[in-house]
């Protein structure tokens, strides 16, 4: 199936013919569903610290920041925000000219509340010689939307969320990327340095760099810090082959078609970062300054739990490697693994002493993450579960609906009745007790991707997404789930979400 031209194409992308063959086989076989033990709850699997414990964890994080360790905030920020404006694109192509749907009416009735209103008004004056108010009075609603979305206007239909103005302040409006600058200064700095990393698409990188050049000095003065801001792009080598319905390679004009492998591809970008602790949070989950205190407190709480737990795990690993441990200490390690890290193995009772210690060492010596979980309010997306792994152990996993066999009544009930939801609120430790970086791709469960159906040029195709960044890509990590309040989860999925009180 692979021609010389194909081979040259693969070499350019950094993809091997073996990878393509493996992906095509997976299109035929599909990905297996995960076997569930139960949805994680506060009673089992989700930590709900007491007030006293919270204070201890917050203090632990402050001490860690003062130690000079490398801390970084990692923000997936690639991809256009076009889905945010889906309803407005529909309005542009509708056979009516006046706002008709509830969404359209809400947008125009509250248009002055958007942080981008001033820029949009100026754009309308420049391009149409009329203000927004004048255009609306003349019934030229579509001209307003066109100036917001089109490249001849503000181009918001093609820009990434990170470059859109989300919130209004007395001195200026802020983009969501700038809100991450602020957050970084409030909980992710060490020795006066705040390190931020944004994953961006190639066609938006220059725009992000321009934003940094324009606004970085302002925030450095505001918070008395120095920012180190870096960018990376999703690697072409993580793209996946597209397939026809019969699982043969999908081609366009004779050329193999590849598609981005989803956010799971970013495990490679994360792996390239040299830091002791890494915060991960989506670009659109930000709030204005008046609501930041809760966000900051719970980010510090998650990080404090991480470093306190890591400290204990490192103590155990040093003890194991010294060979000077007692039977009682081994029993303590087993309890810690089962109770604090929720990792269990039914075969542990049958292990010989040497085998048991090797098992404990393997499970302790892994990357670690602490994940905030909010109470389920019916949002679409993944949640926290106790799931079976390939080695027979049960551990905490964040699962999406695509990974769960919805034809299985018990599994479906677990997913639908889960008490908590994944807001993508992670703090990660990616080095071992010797200070050496873990090779993160080694901890990916390759069986946890999923296949979706798309179209290109009017033709149907099958697309493959790699194991998600916080799903299968972190499957073999030590994981702790912590309940956090709903106020810390405020994503912007549509432009009208910016009208909610939490974004005003």
Query: Could you please report the per-residue DSSP string of 39-84?
Result: E-BTTTBEE---HHHHHHHHHHHHHHHHTT--EEEEEE--SB-GGG
Separation between Cα atoms, residue 89 and residue 117, nearest integer Å: 18
Confidence (pLDDT) at 282? 95
Separation between Cα atoms, residue 368 and residue 427, nearest integer Å: 8
Phi and psi at residue 481, in whole multiples of 5°?
Answer: -100, 135
Separation between Cα atoms, residue 154 and residue 148, nearest integer Å: 5
The count of C-alpha atoms lying within 13 angstroms of the C-alpha of 186, restricted to the half-sphere facing its C-beta, is 17
CA proximity to 209, closest of 218, 198, 219, 220? 198
CA proximity to 166, closest of 89, 114, 112, 219? 114
Separation between Cα atoms, residue 296 and residue 187, nearest integer Å: 6
Q: Tokens 């495990």 correspond to what residue?
A: 267
CA proximity to 148, closest of 162, 165, 134? 165
Confidence (pLDDT) at 347? 87
Confidence (pLDDT) at 78? 83
Separation between Cα atoms, residue 478 and residue 396, nearest integer Å: 8
Confidence (pLDDT) at 380? 66
Strand partners, 76: 199
Separation between Cα atoms, residue 54 and residue 486, nearest integer Å: 17
Spell out the alpha helix ranges (H) of 138-204: 141-149, 176-187
Helix 17-29 to helix 4-13 angle (10° resolution) is 100
- Indicate the pTM of the whole model: 0.94
- How many CB atoms lie under 10 A from the CB of residue 190? 19
Strand partners, 41: 45
The count of C-alpha atoms lying within 13 angstroms of the C-alpha of 101, restricted to the half-sphere facing its C-beta, is 13
Residue 223 class from Cβ within 10 Å (0-12 exposed, 13-18 middle, 19+ buried)? middle
Separation between Cα atoms, residue 262 and residue 91, nearest integer Å: 29
Confidence (pLDDT) at 346? 87
Separation between Cα atoms, residue 212 and residue 200, nearest integer Å: 13
Mapping DSSP to helix (H, G, I), strand (E, B) and coil, where does residue 424 land? coil
Separation between Cα atoms, residue 255 and residue 257, nearest integer Å: 6
Phi and psi at residue 312, in whole multiples of 5°?
Answer: -70, -45
Distance between start and end Cα atoms, the chain: 55
Residue 316 class from Cβ within 10 Å (0-12 exposed, 13-18 middle, 19+ buried)? buried
Confidence (pLDDT) at 503? 97
Residue 201 class from Cβ within 10 Å (0-12 exposed, 13-18 middle, 19+ buried)? middle
**Alpha-carbon separation of residue 183 from 430, 433, 495 (angstroms):** 21, 28, 22
Confidence (pLDDT) at 294? 96
Domain residue ranges of the chain, discontinuous segments joined by + = 4-66+240-252+306-489, 87-159
Mapping DSSP to helix (H, G, I), strand (E, B) and coil, where does residue 436 land? coil
Confidence (pLDDT) at 481? 98
Confidence (pLDDT) at 165? 98
Extract the tokens encoding 199: 């994953």
Extract the tokens encoding 316: 């155990």
- How many CB atoms lie under 10 A from the CB of residue 123? 21
**Alpha-carbon separation of residue 404 from 135, 407, 473 (angstroms):** 50, 9, 16
How confident is the prediction along the chain (504 residues), in pLDDT tens digits per residue? 678 888 999 999 999 999 999 999 999 999 999 999 999 999 999 999 999 999 999 999 999 999 989 999 999 998 778 999 999 999 999 999 999 999 999 999 999 999 999 999 999 999 999 999 999 999 999 999 999 999 999 999 999 999 999 999 998 999 999 999 999 999 999 999 999 999 999 999 999 999 999 999 999 999 999 999 999 999 999 999 999 999 999 999 999 999 999 899 999 999 999 999 999 999 999 999 999 999 999 999 999 999 999 999 999 999 999 999 999 999 999 999 999 999 999 889 889 989 999 999 999 999 999 999 999 987 767 899 999 998 999 999 999 888 899 999 999 999 888 999 999 999 999 999 999 999 999 999 999 999 989 888 889 999 999 999 999 999 999 999 999 999 999 999 999 999 999 999
Confidence (pLDDT) at 456? 87
Separation between Cα atoms, residue 301 and residue 297, nearest integer Å: 6
CA proximity to 161, closest of 177, 182, 184, 180? 177
C-alpha 66, offset from chain centre: 27
Do 367 and 438 touch, CB atoms closer than 8 A?
yes
């Amino acid at each position: 199936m692979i021609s010389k031209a194909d081979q040259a194409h693969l070499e350019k992308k950094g993809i091997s013919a073996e990878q393509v063959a493996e992906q095509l086989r997976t299109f035929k076989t599909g990905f297996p569903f995960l076997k569930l033990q139960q949805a994680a709850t506060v009673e089992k699997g989700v930590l709900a610290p007491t007030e006293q414990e919270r204070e201890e964890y917050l203090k632990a994080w402050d001490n860690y920041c003062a130690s000079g360790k490398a801390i970084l905030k990692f923000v997936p920020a690639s991809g256009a925000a076009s889905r945010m404006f889906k309803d407005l694109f529909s309005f542009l192509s509708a056979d009516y000219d006046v706002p008709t749907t509830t969404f359209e009416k809400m947008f125009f009735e509250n248009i002055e509340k958007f942080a981008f209103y001033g820029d949009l008004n100026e754009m309308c004056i420049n391009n149409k010689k009329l203000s927004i108010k004048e255009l609306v009075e003349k019934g030229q609603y579509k001209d307003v939307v066109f100036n917001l979305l089109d490249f001849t206007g503000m181009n918001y239909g093609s820009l990434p969320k990170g470059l859109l103005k989300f919130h209004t302040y007395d001195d200026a409006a802020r983009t969501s990327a700038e809100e991450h600058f602020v957050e970084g200064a409030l909980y992710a700095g060490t020795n006066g340095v705040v390190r931020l990393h944004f994953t961006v698409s190639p066609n938006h990188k220059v725009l992000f760099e321009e934003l940094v050049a324009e606004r970085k000095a302002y925030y450095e003065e505001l918070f008395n810090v120095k920012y180190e801001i870096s960018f990376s792009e999703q690697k072409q080598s993580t793209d996946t082959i597209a397939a026809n319905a019969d699982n043969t390679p999908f081609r366009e004009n004779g050329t193999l078609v590849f598609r981005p492998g989803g956010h799971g591809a970013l495990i490679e970008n994360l792996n390239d970062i040299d830091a002791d602790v890494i915060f991960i949070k989506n670009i659109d989950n930000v709030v204005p300054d008046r609501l930041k205190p809760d966000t900051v407190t719970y980010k510090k709480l998650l990080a404090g739990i991480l470093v306190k737990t890591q400290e204990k795990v490192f103590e155990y690993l040093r003890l194991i490697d010294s060979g000077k441990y007692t039977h009682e200490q081994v029993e303590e390690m087993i309890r810690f693994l089962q109770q604090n890290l929720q990792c269990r193995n039914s075969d542990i009772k049958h292990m010989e002493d040497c085998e048991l210690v090797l098992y404990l060492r393997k499970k302790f010596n892994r990357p670690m993450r602490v994940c905030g979980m909010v109470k389920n309010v019916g949002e679409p997306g993944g949640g926290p579960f106790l799931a079976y792994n390939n080695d027979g152990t049960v551990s905490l996993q964040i699962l999406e609906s695509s990974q769960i066999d919805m034809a299985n009544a018990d599994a479906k009930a677990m997913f639908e009745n889960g008490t908590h939801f994944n807001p993508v609120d992670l703090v990660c430790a990616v080095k071992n007790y010797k200070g050496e970086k873990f090779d993160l791709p080694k901890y990916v469960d390759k069986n946890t991707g999923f296949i979706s159906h798309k179209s290109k040029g009017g033709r149907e195709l099958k697309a493959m997404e790699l194991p998600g960044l916080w799903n299968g890509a972190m499957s073999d990590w030590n994981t702790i789930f912590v309940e956090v309040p709903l106020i810390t989860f405020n994503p912007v999925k549509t432009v009208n979400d910016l009208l909610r009180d939490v974004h005003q």
